[in-house]
Amino acid sequence: MKSEMKPIKETIPLEEARQLIAEACRPIDRTERVRLVDANGRAAAGAVQSTRDVPPFARAGMDGYAVRAEDTFGASRYEPRVLRVIDKVYTGQVPTRSLDAGTAIEIATGAPMPEGADAVVMVEETERAVEHVRVLTPVYPRQNVGRQGADIVVGQTVIARGNVLNPSRIGALAALGIADVEVFAKPTVAILSTGNEIADPGQELRPGQIYDINKFTLSTIIQEHGGIPTPFSTAQDTIDALEDAIDTALGCRSLGEGDACDVLVFSGGSSVGERDLILDAIGRKGEIVFHGIAVKPGKPTVFGTINGKPVFGMPGYPTSCLSNAYMLLVPALRSIARLPPRHTATVTLPLGQRIVSTTGRHQFYTVRIVDGQAMPAFKASGDITSMSQADGYIEIPAQTDIVEKGERVDVRLF
């Protein structure tokens, strides 16, 4: 089949592209159970309510002596109250004796309170004799005692549906004795590099070939943001090969029934050359939502849907591909995975060198931080070091053509 040049006749603003992508992406519904130790960063698929009190018993909040508070009233260093010590309780033990008037039980922090005791005197406020203890300061009821259910009570919602599990939430589940938890599945993302010129690292390059960079940068960014990267073999530059690759990634051909990928990301083939056939392949299999964004780098980006699943056609140039992955793919992927928007740390610094931008295109310009200044790091869309040697990027609005040296800019850190 002969393919003709397909010039990008009209580009859309970045925010419009983001909105169109957001409208096409649906949060994942599949769920799975994972071990608690593997649950960090996952979104809870359902609410978790406590079936027990935490702690399950009243416990000592200090090392000292469990007492009846009324037996200590009026105590001072000059007139201590003397109590008979009848037992000792360590953590993990159950008290075997109860308190009567004028008695005390030595107790360790966290140990269950004995029956009849309603307070703990800190060991620092006592003087021990052989079978007695002198209490040097009074305590009031419940002083230095953690009550049963002080942290969590039966029936309390500990985790809400959609909560992203973090160390503290996982700790709360562990406190309930829960060993595994139901979470939303991670979306699987098919990564498909295209082009006869692409070779995998580890192979010998033939004349005219280059190594595949984008398969690895995309895999890393997908893994970092809640997805499961699923790289496929490089597709050749024919419409039949591309359609076969789409069927494999989205149509259960090789992954097993029910295991088709949730998102497809093409790398390369989204430009306007005769052999850039992604537009044709997506159009024949599904729907083109847009082709071309008013950004630099990354103008020749395609987005569409096939059988309701998002399909991204990223530029082949490594900087363009990775930049647009941050700007477009990451927000979409996190939404599908039911994760909150990506938080990007920002620092404001003076620009160390004048930048001339492209009027009419929103530019993402990579920078290095050197001696408290933002120094330009961008080389060209095809140079991965534009990203690998940068600390972050600044955004230059479409209507701005020059950013002067010394002007303060917001650097969004990678």
Summarize the confidence of residues 24-47 as an average pLDDT: 97
Tokens representing 14 are 């970045």
Residues 114, 377: Cα–Cα separation, whole Å: 68
* Distance set, CA 173 to CA 163, 184, 197 (Å): 13, 17, 51
Q: Which of 303, 336, 369 finishes a domain?
A: 336
CATH number of the domain within which 390 lies: 2.40.340.10
Lowest mean pLDDT among 13-27, 43-57, 317-331: 317-331
Tell me the Cα Rg of the chain.
32
- As to burial, measured by CB atoms within 10 angstroms (0-12 exposed, 13-18 middle, 19+ buried), residue 216 is middle
Whether the per-residue pLDDT at 255 is higher than 50: the answer is: no
- Are 259 and 312 part of one and the same domain? yes
Summarize the confidence of residues 172-178 as an average pLDDT: 96
Whether the per-residue pLDDT at 296 is higher than 50: the answer is: yes
Q: Which of 282, 305, 336 finishes a domain?
A: 336
Whether the per-residue pLDDT at 39 is higher than 50: the answer is: yes
- Are 45 and 82 part of one and the same domain? no
pLDDT single digits (tens) 78-131: 999 999 999 999 999 999 999 999 999 999 999 999 999 999 999 999 999 989
Residues 350, 77: Cα–Cα separation, whole Å: 64
Residues 27, 47: Cα–Cα separation, whole Å: 17
- Are 177 and 303 part of one and the same domain? no
Tokens representing 128 are 């021990």
Q: Are 301 and 311 in contact (CB under 8 A)?
A: no
Summarize the confidence of residues 192-200 as an average pLDDT: 83
Q: pLDDT at position 360, please?
A: 84
Q: pLDDT at position 2, please?
A: 43
Residue 163 belongs to a domain:
yes
Listed ranges 178-192, 223-237, 366-380, 382-396; the one with the highest mean pLDDT: 178-192
Summarize the confidence of residues 305-312 as an average pLDDT: 94
Which of 179 and 257 is assigned the larger pLDDT?
Answer: 179
The domain tally of the chain equals 4
Coil, strand or helix: which one is 230?
strand
Summarize the confidence of residues 137-153 as an average pLDDT: 96
Residues 323, 388: Cα–Cα separation, whole Å: 12
Summarize the confidence of residues 305-313 as an average pLDDT: 94
CATH number of the domain within which 167 lies: 3.90.105.10
Closest CA to 9 of 290, 288, 283, 277: 290
pLDDT single digits (tens) 154-174: 999 999 999 999 999 999 999
- Are 370 and 409 part of one and the same domain? yes
- Are 26 and 96 part of one and the same domain? no
Q: pLDDT at position 7, please?
A: 55
pLDDT single digits (tens) 356-377: 988 788 888 889 999 999 999 8
- Are 367 and 314 part of one and the same domain? no
Q: pLDDT at position 269, please?
A: 56
- Most distant pair of Cα atoms in the chain: their distance: 104
Whether the per-residue pLDDT at 195 is higher than 80: the answer is: no
pLDDT single digits (tens) 268-277: 754 445 436 8
Range of the domain at 384: 346-413
Whether the per-residue pLDDT at 198 is higher than 90: the answer is: no
Lowest mean pLDDT among 254-263, 294-303, 324-333: 254-263
pLDDT single digits (tens) 125-143: 999 998 999 999 999 999 9
Whether the per-residue pLDDT at 1 is higher than 90: the answer is: no
Residues 276, 271: Cα–Cα separation, whole Å: 6
Whether the per-residue pLDDT at 152 is higher than 60: the answer is: yes
CA–chain centroid gap for 340, Å, is: 8
- Are 138 and 194 part of one and the same domain? no
Whether the per-residue pLDDT at 216 is higher than 60: the answer is: yes
- Are 270 and 326 part of one and the same domain? yes
